[in-house]
Amino acid sequence: SAVISQKPSRDICQRGTSLTIQCQVDSQVTMMFWYRQQPGQSLTLIATANQGSEATYESGFVIDKFPISRPNLTFSTLTVSNMSPEDSSIYLCSVVTVGRHEQYFGPGTRLTVT
């Protein structure tokens, strides 16, 4: 299985600021994704992080609000910009490993916006 780490594990941020979340995987992966889990809810896909090119965003998510980078096969960042209390969620990085069908999730970053 892939070991995924995320930093920070949690943060409390003020309205209007931005937070960048890092995701590091211990092996080369084919696909990297960012999901959001709002309090008491299921998971919603924000975007697919593409290496060396712009991320592919799902309906309802835009690059200006959630810029994503993926400079190499094992690392990605998600920025939550101009935060509001509605952005309070758990943000999870997820990967699909090379040649496999399993999809693994990181431990998540618990964000609270005040």
List interacting residues with other proteins (CB under 8 A): 1, 31, 33, 41-45, 48, 58, 92, 94, 96, 101-108, 110
Q: Cβ closer to other proteins: 1 or 14?
A: 1
Q: How far is the CB of 24 from other proteins (least distance, A)?
A: 14
CA 60 and chain centroid, separation: 15
State the Cα angle at 59 between 3 and 99, rounded to 5°. Answer: 35
Give the Cα separation of 82 and 88 in Å (integer).
12
74, containing H or E segment: none
Q: How far is the CB of 41 from other proteins (least distance, A)?
A: 8
Q: Cβ closer to other proteins: 49 or 83?
A: 49
